[in-house]
Structures are given as C-alpha cells and as structure tokens.
C-alpha cells in the first residue's frame, strides 16, 4: 500500500483475484482430461518460426493449464530447432507467438516443409493474441491467455466461454479502455 497507494493496491488485488479465478475456471475442466486427450502444442517464438518455447517456461505453464502438452522437447524460451525436430514432434496444434504472429502463421502455412505436420494438415495453426503486450508472455494479459488457450485447444469443453466478450471486459476493467469491434 505504501508503494502503490491504496487505490492501486485494491486494483492489483482485484487483478490477482481475476487471474486466479480464470486459472480455476480452466483447470476445473482441464484437470479432468486424460493424457491422451491433451493435444501436443508447439509454440513458436521470436525471431522466427523455427524458434520454439519449451519446458520449464511460462509458455509451458499455460499450455499445461489449458489442457495441452508442450510438444517441444527442449527446455526454456527461444530455442532454435530444425524442421526435422518439428517433424519428429509432429504437434497437433501450433501457436505462433510474438508479433508479427499473423505473418509468421501465414509463413508456416505457405511453406511446403510444414505441410507434413499434423497441425498444418488439420488446420490447427493459430496466431496468439496480443494487446497492450503479448498475451503469451509475462504480462497482465496472461490472465486472458489461459482463457484463449483453453478455448483454442478444447473448444467443445469451453463452448460457453466468449473470449471476445471477456477481452472487452478485461480491458475496460483493468486498462480503462473500451474496445470496439
């Protein structure tokens, strides 16, 4: 309270409650999944599409919470890998993180080397959202990341979750900004 001030401390506590509630909302569902029901997720990172995020990372944490398994058999963030390694992992889902994620997503879809990968063949390549900052990293929007990732990996289990509406409420509540569109 002395550093932030009373009002800011209340907002910080409210944010922590919100994030914790989102984690509970997701894990109440995903904790019931069998290992065979958890898709293998590859998260690509900066500076390109052959740089991935592995175990023991914030990326690994939200993949697990959202009901997936990190396909990357490496430790840490931003690890360069070969196309052969990606093919051996054969992820069910690819999430392209770090801007410009839409361009990197399209680069994967356009590259013939990626067409052998299950996620590409089945149309499960997604650009990770970003807002004030990247949702998939250590940021305030990580509270939204767990919701988006759960809905993306298991749309049938989170059919009642409207990520767009939740995002609008989040930005209004914590950033005091009304999103349009």
**pLDDT (0 to 100) of residue 46:** 64
- Average pLDDT, whole number, for the chain? 91
Res 124 pLDDT > 80: yes
For the whole model, what pTM was predicted?
Answer: 0.91
Quote the CA–CA distance of 30 and 76 in Å, as a whole number. 23
| pLDDT surpassing 90 at residue 85 | yes
pLDDT tens by residue, 32-74: 999 999 999 999 986 567 899 999 999 999 999 999 999 999 9
What's the pLDDT score for residue 61?
95
Q: Is the pLDDT of residue 180 over 90?
A: no
Can you give the pLDDT at residue 102?
A: 81
Q: What is the pLDDT of residue 134?
A: 75
Give the pLDDT score at 181: 67
Residue 45 to residue 95: CA distance in whole angstroms: 9
Identify the band that residue 145 occupies on the pLDDT scale cut at 50, 70 and 90: very high
3-state secondary structure the chain: CCCCCHHHHHHHHHHHHHHHHHHHHHHHHHCCCCHHHCCEEEEECCCCCCEECCECCHHHHHHHHCCCEECCCCECCCEECCHHHHHHHCCCEEEECCCCHHHHHHHHHHCHHHHHCHHHHCCCEEECCECCCECCCCCCCHHHHHHHHHHHHCCCCCCCCCHHHHHHHHHHHHHCCCCCC
Residue 78 and residue 75: Cα distance in Å, rounded?
A: 9
């Amino acid at each position: 309270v002395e550093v932030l001030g009373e009002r800011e401390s209340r907002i910080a506590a409210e944010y922590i409650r919100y994030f914790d509630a989102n984690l509970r909302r997701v894990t109440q569902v995903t904790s019931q999944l069998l290992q065979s029901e958890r898709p293998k997720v590859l998260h690509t990172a900066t500076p390109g599409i052959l740089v991935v995020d592995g175990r023991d990372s914030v990326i690994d944490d939200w993949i697990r919470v959202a009901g997936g398994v990190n396909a990357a058999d490496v430790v840490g963030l931003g690890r360069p890998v070969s196309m052969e390694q990606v093919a051996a992992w054969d992820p069910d889902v690819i999430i392209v993180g770090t801007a410009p994620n839409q361009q990197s997503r399209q680069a994967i879809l356009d590259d013939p080397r990626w067409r052998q990968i299950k996620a590409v063949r089945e149309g499960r390549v997604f650009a990770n959202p970003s807002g004030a900052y990247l949702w998939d990293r250590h940021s305030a929007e990580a509270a939204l990341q767990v919701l988006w990732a759960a809905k993306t990996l298991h749309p049938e289990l989170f059919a009642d979750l409207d990520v767009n509406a939740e995002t609008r409420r989040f930005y209004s509540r914590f950033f005091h900004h009304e999103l349009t569109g």
